[in-house]
Amino acid sequence: MNTIKTAMLLAFMTALFMGVGFLIGGSGGMMIAFIFAAGMNLLSYWNADKMVLSMHHAREVDAASAPEFHGIVADLARNAGLPMPRTYIIENDQPNAFATGRNPENAAVAATTGLLRRLSPQEIAGVMAHELAHIQHRDTLTMTITATLAGAISMLGNFAFFFGGNRDNNNPFGFIGVLVAMLVAPLAAMLVQMAISRTREYSADRRGAEICGQPLWLASALGKIASAAEHTVNVDAERNPATAHMFIINPLSGARMDNLFSTHPDVGNRIAQLQEMASGGGFGGHPSMAARPADEAPRPVASGPWSEAGRRSSPPRSKGPWG
């Protein structure tokens, strides 16, 4: 199903490129836009994950450079039956995380230093389980392609602003066509991002809770992330707003409400779903899960790098939970 959705997304984006190209430069502009769109589709499929990680200056880490963070991801990947994804850390004080990659065999997860500093190991596990759920559901290909193409569509709208006025002789709609291209291209890209992200977050929250076995770990993490993100500017995300829908919490300033113009569902609604799961509302996850009040600290599972045994065997932390 996700393969069909991705193919439909690529077709829609290509058609949008061609339409904007026609509005800017007539049939010649449409052909140029088609060639550009075809190239972007190929580039997005094979390299969009690298492009997104580069946009946010993510650096890859391993078991030696970030033993606890890498260990948490490895243990969760085993729980989910997934290949071990590449792990990245982003030097950014805003607590946030995302997953990317065209399939589980070529996936990557990234967390900010702000997230690793502010959250407990249990909460980090809840967040990374959510990101692994995106990988398992194969959301990452669609979300990463959307991020790359939405950015390109916005650039095409800017191109219409700067150069469209000089092509009136080729543009059958004249200035009106250029104006429509300027307004429609970014708006269409934003609507696609919203359509892709909002429903997938609830599904990833639920599956993430099953992977880590404790819905309240993720619920607690979401509350902390949302509160801190409101007061912390993510400069790279502001420069690349087309990637906003990939993060677990909207990294952009404002627009965090559960309404038509938000890329993410309301955090309160997501936390309520997780609390319902924890209280026995149809959750069929890890057998160690037990209902507990929302303000009670979660108990670590019996094994893994965030357990008592894991902490005793891990090197002492001197610079934060990533080693």
Is residue 144 classed as helix, strand or coil in its secondary structure?
A: helix
Instruction: Provide the residue count of the chain.
Output: 323
Give the amino acid at 161. Answer: F
Handedness of CA 65, 71, 77, 82 (dihedral sign): positive
Q: Where are the beta strands (DSSP E) in the chain?
A: 58-61, 86-90, 97-100, 108-112
Cβ atoms of residues 34 and 45 within 8 Å: no
235, 244, 261, 39: which is closest to 143 by C-alpha? 244
Predicted confidence at residue 253, as pLDDT, reads 75
Task: Answer yes or no: are the C-beta atoms of 292 and 278 closer than 8 Å.
Answer: yes
Spatial contact of 48 and 140, defined as CB atoms under 8 Å apart: no
**117 CB neighbour count, 10 Å cutoff:** 13
Which pair of tokens denotes residue 321?
A: 């939970």
- The answer to whether 301 and 214 have CB atoms below 8 angstroms apart is yes
8 Å CB contact between 84 and 73: yes
Q: Which residue has the tokens 């989910």?
A: 80
Residue 297 pLDDT: 39
Coil vs helix vs strand at 213: coil
- Residue 124 near residue 69 (C-beta atoms within 8 A): yes
Q: Report which of 145, 143, 136 is spatially closest to residue 98, judged by C-alpha positions.
A: 143
Tens place of pLDDT per residue across the chain (323 aa): 666 766 777 777 777 777 777 777 777 777 877 887 777 777 777 887 898 899 999 999 999 999 999 999 999 999 999 999 999 999 999 999 999 998 999 999 999 999 999 999 999 999 999 999 999 998 888 777 776 666 677 676 666 666 555 544 455 666 666 676 667 666 766 666 666 666 788 999 999 999 999 999 999 999 999 999 888 999 999 888 878 888 999 898 754 444 444 668 889 999 999 999 998 855 544 433 333 333 443 333 333 344 433 433 334 443 444 44
The annotated binding site for Zn(2+) is made up of: 130, 134, 201
Residue 199 CA: distances (Å) to CA of 60, 73, 85, 193, 263: 29, 24, 24, 11, 10
Q: In the chain, what's the furthest Cα-to-Cα distance? A: 73
Choice among 131, 210, 276, 308 that is catalytic:
131
Which SS3 state, helix, strand or coil, does residue 86 take?
strand
Show the tokens assigned to 226. Answer: 């949302």
Whether 131 is catalytic is yes
Q: CA-based angle 65:66:69, to the nearest 5? A: 165
Tokens 């809840």 identify what position? 126
Distance separating alpha carbons of residues 206 and 211, to the nearest angstrom: 9
Q: How does strand 86-90 pair with strand 58-61?
A: antiparallel
